[in-house]
């Protein structure tokens, strides 16, 4: 029967294997990227909520729709919206047009 020390030794050896280390490094990198993307998307939602006077859910839908209609990755659309909200640059015409239509559809008639 294996002792606890044997099990621990086997677990340590598995964690120290080069393949497992690379796998864990890749996983950590992907998680870091996801956290950064999420933060940028949340910031863009905030910009759209403020500018478009809509709820966060509606702003999320506007971002997602803009990404799908323009075939631009959601994170990149979010980065553009945040930069625009900070006054740093104009929105790309295609993104601006789709987002503008979405915001106008929310205006009271």
pLDDT tier for residue 4 given thresholds of 50, 70 and 90: low
With beta carbons less than 8 A apart as the criterion, state whether 5 and 43 touch. Answer: no
pLDDT tier for residue 90 given thresholds of 50, 70 and 90: confident
Q: What is the pLDDT of residue 109?
A: 45
**Nearest residue to 79 via CA among 28, 38, 35:** 38
User: For 78, left (φ over 0), alpha (ψ -120 to 50), or beta?
Assistant: alpha
What count of other Cβ atoms lies within 10 Å of the Cβ of residue 59?
Answer: 26
Residue 81 has pLDDT above 80, yes or no: yes
């Amino acid at each position: 029967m294996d002792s606890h020390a044997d099990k621990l030794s086997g677990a340590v050896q598995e964690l120290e294997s080069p393949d497992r280390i690379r796998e864990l490094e890749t996983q950590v990198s992907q998680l870091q990227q996801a956290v950064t993307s999420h933060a940028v998307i949340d910031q863009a939602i905030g910009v759209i909520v403020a500018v478009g006077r809509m709820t966060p859910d509606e702003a999320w839908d506007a971002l997602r729709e803009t990404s799908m209609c323009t075939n631009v990755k959601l994170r990149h659309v979010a980065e553009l919206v945040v930069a625009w909200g900070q006054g740093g640059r104009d929105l790309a015409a295609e993104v601006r047009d789709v987002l503008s239509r979405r915001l106008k559809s929310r205006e009271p008639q």
